[in-house]
Amino acid sequence: MAKQHIKMTVNGEEKEFLSEPRELLIHTLRDKLGLKGPHVGCETSHCGACTVEINGKSVKACTMFAVQANGAEITTIEGLGSPDKLHVLQESFKEHHGLQCGYCTPGMITRAHRLLQENPNPTEEEVRFGIAGNICRCTGYQNIVKSILSAAAEINAAKEAAQ
């Protein structure tokens, strides 16, 4: 089938390219746009390693075609922080050992970021429910949850201090 002209904003930058209708968004992000943060785990929407934010929602990028994201605003882990300036969630995962092999981590943090946007002060149960679609094969959930709760507390404290 003929390639289609696609435009999207990724991590604040406008991107334009041609895409075959069968091309999954995760492959576009990784192979066309060079964003290797979102990972491919299962490609069947089970693991969450490919999680990104699309128009303010957590989406598993293996579950949609790039052409379906035409015109969308997308944020990947690369848009949250950088090696020089980590996002508070990234700092927290580092501090609380929220990762082991790290394979699930970009998707986990991207999902946690959206979760805290929707619920800035979650309980432990709400965090566990919120990340239920993201699987950690190293089973490091205890420290992942701790990392997210700690980041939430830090973000809230910073907001209070700024008032």
Which spans of this chain sit near ligand FES (rule: CB under 6 A)? Answer: 40-43, 45-50, 60, 62, 99-105, 136-138, 140
Shortest Å distance, C-beta 137 to ligand FES: 4
The residue (of 43 and 126) whose beta carbon lies closer to ligand FES is 43
Q: Which residues contact 41 (CB under 8 A, 6 or more apart)?
A: 47, 48, 49, 50, 103, 104, 107, 135
Beta bridge partners of 157: none
The residue (of 47 and 127) whose beta carbon lies closer to ligand FES is 47
Shortest Å distance, C-beta 97 to ligand FES: 10
The residue (of 21 and 102) whose beta carbon lies closer to ligand FES is 102
The residue (of 42 and 158) whose beta carbon lies closer to ligand FES is 42
Shortest Å distance, C-beta 5 to ligand FES: 25
The residue (of 51 and 150) whose beta carbon lies closer to ligand FES is 51
Shortest Å distance, C-beta 48 to ligand FES: 5
Shortest Å distance, C-beta 52 to ligand FES: 10
If DSSP states are collapsed to H, E and C, what string results for the chain? CCCEEEEEEECCEEEEEEECCCCEHHHHHHHHCCCCCCCCCCCCCCCCCCEEEECCEEEECCCCEHHHHCCCEEECHHHHCCCCCCCHHHHHHHHCCCCCCCCCHHHHHHHHHHHHHHCCCCCHHHHHHHCCCCCCCCCCHHHHHHHHHHHHHHHHHHHHHHC
